[in-house]
A and B are shown apart, each in its own frame.
Chain A
Amino acid sequence: MESRGWSRRRLGDRLGLVVYGGGVVGVTLVHDPVWLTAAGVGVWLGAGKERGRLLRRALRLALPWLVVVSVGYGMVAFWSGLPVGEVLLRLNLRVGVLVLLTVVFATRVSLLRAVDFSPTLVWLFTMVMSQMVLWQRLYEEFRLALVSRSPGEPDLRTVLQASANAIAWFADQALATARNQAQALRARGLLE
């Protein structure tokens, strides 16, 4: 039987998904930089105690794109006499707010709980997400192992050899994990 805590968390995650979806659409419908700034401040304040870390993460994700596009457009606009200030301000604010919103959503809401109204979505996301987590963890372990084995900066040959070993290991591990999951899903009637 489902516990009351689990039901409450699931309801909260579904509500979070709905609020996030509405928020994302809303931000793309607003064009006034003042309102976009207010939305950004609102999301940042609503992010809770971790707001500093989440803001840094959002900036790390958004900045490469924003810098490349802003510098490019700035140069084109300078030579062509196109409007630049408000266009770039609006673009940077909008992208920044959306990325921050997504980072806060990803931290606060369990996607699997939010979509558990659909068994199909749950098994699709479970298969893909578990593989991604596994690959990320193995990649980090192999990277750290290579660093610890190398007295200095590893040369290209060493890196390529380590990469080939890592890929072979990844493939076997990923396959074994996915096989176990497929068996578990089949045992629960999800592949019938």
Chain B
Amino acid sequence: MHVPDGFLSPATYMTAYGLAVPLWWVGVRRLRHELDAETLPWLAAVSALCFVLMQWSIPLPGGSSVHLSGIGLLAVLFGPWVSFLAVSLVLAVQSLVLGVGGVTTLAVNALAMGLIGSWMAFGGWRLLRRVHEPTALVFAGWLATVAPAAVVGVTLGVQPLVAQGEEGEPLFFPFDWEVTLPAVVVPHALLGVVEGVVTWWGRSAWVRLRVRHGE
């Protein structure tokens, strides 16, 4: 659900950076505190999997794209703060090295996918895991997809309101949220089921791999 460069007004992306920078600082501190040399390789490997999953994306008329992300898996395995930072790094490398996504939109993408996606997935999983673990994992993956999509839809949809020319014409993304919300959220609500299955499968594979590696 990356928002590309050029779709968001400076007022939007500057505000997002203002919010994201202190949160990244908290994330780095948590990462340094929580990670050790045993866990770090696993985090790097799962982050790389997220990168691969995000590579196959389809543009949506709502100004975003639809793709798997692995964020639910990251959040469930490593917690929401570490997941937020890992997703932010993947997005930063994608935008600065590969030109995918955007630099101006990096903070919005990181807050939507990394922060909100991770916390929603983590919360959903914690809520349901005592009832039925597989359902909780599928729900976590679904939330990690749909919640960021809603945030991205609203952020794009406010652009015609916050950045207008002299005659009221949109200066950045032209659709309002009556178009962007359904255009972004509906495909993600469907894809979220696949993301949920990936989260469930990924967590099972992770447990098996750790056993195989004697951890």
Contact = CB atoms under 8 A, between A and B. Distances in A.
A174 interface: yes
Contact of B9 (A28, A88, A124, A181): A28
A49 to B, nearest CB: 19
SS of A interface (majority): helix
Interface residues of B, number: 57
A102 B99 contact: yes
B93 A90 contact: no
A68 interface: yes
B128 interface: no
Contacts of A181: 41, 44
A182 B179 CA distance: 46
A90 B171 contact: yes
Contacts, number: 166
Interface stretch (B60-68, B70-78, B145-153, B187-195): B60-68
Interface residues of A, number: 61
Interface in B1-54: 4-10, 13, 28, 32, 35-37, 40-45, 47-49, 51-52
22 contacts: A29-B10, A62-B4, A65-B65, A82-B174, A83-B169, A91-B6, A106-B96, A128-B93, A131-B51, A134-B48, A135-B48, A171-B49, A171-B209, A174-B44, A174-B48, A175-B209, A181-B44, A183-B37, A185-B37, A185-B40, A191-B35, A191-B40
